[in-house]
Amino acid sequence: MIFRVVIIIIILALVYYLYRIMTGNSEYRKCQKCNGQGYWKATRGERDKCDICKGSGKVLR
Protein backbone atom coordinates (compact mmCIF):
# COMPACT_ATOMS: atom_id res chain seq x y z
CA MET A 1 0.00 0.00 0.00
CA ILE A 2 2.70 2.48 -1.05
CA PHE A 3 0.05 4.56 -2.81
CA ARG A 4 -1.67 5.35 0.49
CA VAL A 5 1.65 6.50 2.00
CA VAL A 6 2.25 8.87 -0.94
CA ILE A 7 -1.25 10.39 -0.46
CA ILE A 8 -0.55 10.96 3.26
CA ILE A 9 2.80 12.63 2.48
CA ILE A 10 1.14 14.95 -0.06
CA ILE A 11 -1.58 15.93 2.45
CA LEU A 12 1.02 16.61 5.17
CA ALA A 13 3.08 18.72 2.77
CA LEU A 14 -0.03 20.69 1.79
CA VAL A 15 -0.98 21.32 5.44
CA TYR A 16 2.59 22.43 6.19
CA TYR A 17 2.56 24.73 3.15
CA LEU A 18 -0.74 26.35 4.20
CA TYR A 19 0.59 26.72 7.76
CA ARG A 20 3.69 28.49 6.43
CA ILE A 21 1.55 30.90 4.39
CA MET A 22 -0.62 31.80 7.41
CA THR A 23 2.32 32.31 9.79
CA GLY A 24 4.28 34.22 7.14
CA ASN A 25 1.45 36.71 6.63
CA SER A 26 1.10 37.29 10.38
CA GLU A 27 4.09 39.65 10.25
CA TYR A 28 2.00 42.02 8.20
CA ARG A 29 -1.37 43.55 8.80
CA LYS A 30 -3.73 45.37 6.51
CA CYS A 31 -3.03 49.06 6.10
CA GLN A 32 -5.65 51.00 8.06
CA LYS A 33 -5.43 54.16 6.00
CA CYS A 34 -6.18 52.63 2.59
CA ASN A 35 -7.95 49.48 3.88
CA GLY A 36 -5.43 47.17 2.18
CA GLN A 37 -5.93 48.69 -1.26
CA GLY A 38 -2.55 50.45 -1.56
CA TYR A 39 -4.28 53.62 -2.70
CA TRP A 40 -7.38 55.61 -2.02
CA LYS A 41 -9.68 57.64 -4.17
CA ALA A 42 -8.95 61.33 -4.19
CA THR A 43 -11.65 63.98 -4.35
CA ARG A 44 -11.58 64.15 -8.16
CA GLY A 45 -11.70 60.35 -8.56
CA GLU A 46 -8.03 59.70 -9.30
CA ARG A 47 -6.07 57.08 -7.39
CA ASP A 48 -3.68 58.46 -4.81
CA LYS A 49 -0.92 56.06 -3.80
CA CYS A 50 -0.96 55.42 -0.06
CA ASP A 51 2.04 56.96 1.68
CA ILE A 52 1.74 54.74 4.77
CA CYS A 53 2.17 51.35 3.05
CA LYS A 54 3.85 52.68 -0.13
CA GLY A 55 1.11 51.19 -2.30
CA SER A 56 1.49 47.61 -1.07
CA GLY A 57 -1.68 47.62 1.08
CA LYS A 58 0.03 46.07 4.09
CA VAL A 59 2.28 47.34 6.84
CA LEU A 60 4.61 45.69 9.32
CA ARG A 61 3.24 45.15 12.81
Tell me the C-alpha distance between 8 and 61, whole Å. 36
Residue 29 or 33: the one with the smaller Cβ distance to Zn ion is 33
Task: Please identify, using beta-carbon distances, which residue of 2 and 27 lies nearer to Zn ion.
Answer: 27
Residues 6 or more apart whose CB falls under 8 angstroms from that of 37 comprise 31, 50, 57
Cβ at position 29, least distance to Zn ion in Å: 11
CB of 31 to Zn ion, least distance (A): 3
Between 1 and 60, name the residue whose CB sits nearer to Zn ion: 60
Which residues on adjacent β-strands are paired with residue 41?
Answer: 47
